[in-house]
Amino acid sequence: MNKNYLNLLLIPTLLATGAVYAQKKNKPDPLKAEVVQSIDSRFEDLTDLSDKIWSFEEIAFQEIQSAAALSDYAESLGFKVTRGVAEIPTAFVAEYGSGSPIIGILGEFDALPGLSQNTVPTKSPLHDGAPGHGCGHNLFGVASLGAAATIKDLIEEGKIKGTVRFYGTPAEEKFFGKLWMIRAGLFEDVDVMMDWHPAAETKAAVQKGLALVDFQVEFYGQAAHASADPWNGRSASDALELYTNGINYYREHIKPTVRIHYHIQDAGQVVNVVPDYSRIWVRVRDSSREGLMPVYERVQEMAEGAAILANVDYKVSLISGIHEVLVNRTGSAALQKNLETLGAISYTEEEQVFAKKIQESTGKPQIGLVSKIEPMEETEEHSMGGSTDVGDVSYVVPTIRLSATTAPNGTPWHSWAVVASGGMSIGHKGMAYAAKALSMTMVDLFQNEELVTNVKAEFKEKKGDYVYKGIIPDGPPPINSNLQ
């Protein structure tokens, strides 16, 4: 097949989902052209699947319908599916092929509480108080499974050799389900892992994000009538207030890379009772686990101090914690080339109007969707932003990561605006684009043994003598935790 014919063949289908296949000086890889066409041929099915998960609105460890939809689809395509792995009912692995290399790809599908939203560019809950996909995970798992499916087809047809493995990973937003999947040994034999995340821009993801630890503090006092005999009470609520005051005074004396958040879950039930119980969920972050741990130790000590001041008992319980991402620039460079080959996503005038209305509704500059592929960034020593349990995977297996546009520039993440975009064509186009870029990079990994070797060499060098240990308590995953 000659170059000009191949490009003419690809352009109509690529435009259908918003991607532009850029002209290249080198002859296009026919297998990459094939996986791009495969995603286009599956676009309707993938969109339907994404919209189903969007409508299920299921939060951490409760993604029963979402996990079933993804795993059933994988099984229908011929994958061997193992459900309920790592003692998590909604975690699963879908695999096809045999032998090396083993290339994995991650998929998430949990929603966030309280973010239900219609597919309109102003705040309008679909179901009042219900969850919504404010991080675009309805797109995440589907695009990754779509990419895995294109590779499965190539293996089945004998065009490449090896194993492709899709990981259905629940509870990324709250409990970090991948930690228990790592503990179960599910990633140990993988050569290279692929990952992506919905975003407001399209690029190779080469920033580390933040390490974090989640824990819960409970205070136990003595109840009493708040007016008749308050001297007989020992207030757990007082301890909680003293504790939060301590955290807030501490903020002046921590490094700029540190973040501390808390959510008061229980501070008493009525005003005329000295409360005998209170509970707070605390999260500490820093740009590295090394910087995180001293802050974590200090805020635990503050809980003891607050308990002493209020004359109550206390308990600190670890929920979980995650590492920053161990960036693999060798793999990212291969991904970057495929982004440049695909070109930027194109948008309709209607989509740009929708994007600008979201920006207007959220108080952001009304610039619409900025569609371009930037050069690969330098990896910052102290990159900021969010956190992900993909960081822990990246300390177990070398991981290549992508960000793909699924919402307008400036959109507040973890908000109704991301939910709205993820349930309509802007999100669907980003999903398809991600599947294509991931598929093309997986083709590189299956075809180029030297690339896999170099990706693994960088991983080994950067990890050094660090021995990975997950920050999770003993025992099963917190499927029915009171943090829900």
List pLDDT tens digits, range 22-64: 333 346 699 999 999 999 999 999 999 999 999 999 999 999 9
φ, ψ for residue 204, nearest 5 deg: -65, 130
Average pLDDT, the chain: 93
Q: Please report, to the nearest 10 degrees, the dihedral formed by the alpha carbons of residues 40, 150, 91, 17 taken in order.
A: -20
Q: H/E element holding 182?
A: helix 178-183
pLDDT at residue 325, rounded to an integer: 97
Per-residue pLDDT band at 484 (split at 50, 70, 90): low
Tell me the sheet residues that pair with 318: 215
DSSP state of 234: B
The count of C-alpha atoms lying within 13 angstroms of the C-alpha of 370, restricted to the half-sphere facing its C-beta, is 13
Torsion of CA 150, 153, 154, 160, to 10 degrees: 110
Is 315's pLDDT higher than 90?
A: yes
pLDDT tier, 108 (very low <50, low <70, confident <90, very high otherwise): very high
- E strands, 98-207, are 102-107, 163-168, 192-199, 203-204
Residue 10: is its pLDDT beyond 70?
A: no
440 close to 342: Cβ distance less than 8 angstroms: yes
Residue type present at position 304: E
DSSP annotation string for 340-374 = HHH-PBP--HHHHHHHHHHHHHTT----------P
Query: What's the chain's length in residues?
Result: 484
Distance CA 141, CA 49 (A): 10
Q: Is the pLDDT of residue 461 over 90?
A: yes
- In Å, how far from its chain's centre is CA 161? 29
pLDDT, one tens digit per residue, over 388-436 is: 999 999 999 999 999 999 999 999 999 999 999 999 999 999 999 999 9
Indicate whether 9 pLDDT > 60: no
Architecture label for domain 211-322: 2-Layer Sandwich (3.30)
Rounded distance between C-alpha atoms, residue 263 and residue 283, angstroms: 9
Q: Do domains 3-208+324-463 and 211-322 have the same CATH topology?
A: no
Q: Verify cis geometry, omega within 30 degrees of 0, for the bond prior to 412.
A: no
Say what the pLDDT of residue 20 is: 37
Domain residue extents for the chain: 3-208+324-463, 211-322
* DSSP category for residue 176: -
Q: Kindly report the three-state secondary structure assignment for every residue of 394-417.
A: HCCCCEEEEEEECCCCCCCCCCHH
Mean pLDDT of 204-228: 96
Helix, strand, coil distribution of the chain in percent, nearest 5: 40, 20, 40
CA-CA distance, 377 to 208, in Å (whole number)? Answer: 12
**Alpha carbon distance 158, 413 (integer Å):** 42
What's the pLDDT at 22? 36
Average pLDDT value for residue range 137-162:
98
Query: What backbone torsions phi and psi does residue 293 show, to the nearest 5 degrees?
Result: -60, -40
pLDDT at 225: 96
Give the pLDDT band of residue 260 (cuts 50, 70, 90): very high
User: Rounded to an integer, what distance in angstroms lies between the CA atom of residue 402 and that of residue 385?
Assistant: 15
pLDDT over 60 (residue 475): yes
Q: Which fold has domain 3-208+324-463?
A: Aminopeptidase (3.40.630)
- Percentage, residues of the chain above pLDDT 90: 92
Cβ(434)–Cβ(17) below 8 Å: no
| Whole-number Å distance between alpha carbons of 407 and 47 | 16
Question: Is the pTM here over 0.75, yes or no?
Answer: yes
| Residue-level pLDDT at 480 | 83
Query: How far, in Å, are 312, 316, 328, 479 from residue 305 at the CA level?
Result: 10, 13, 42, 31
What's the pLDDT score for residue 128?
Answer: 93
Of 17, 186, 167, which is closest to residue 90 (Cα–Cα)? 167
Segment 310-339 mean pLDDT: 97
Q: What percent of the chain has pLDDT over 70?
A: 94
Mean pLDDT of the 2-9 span: 36
Beta strands in 113-270 (DSSP E): 163-168, 192-199, 203-204, 211-220, 224-225, 259-266
Given this model, what pLDDT does residue 385 score? 86
pLDDT computed for residue 27 by the predictor: 61
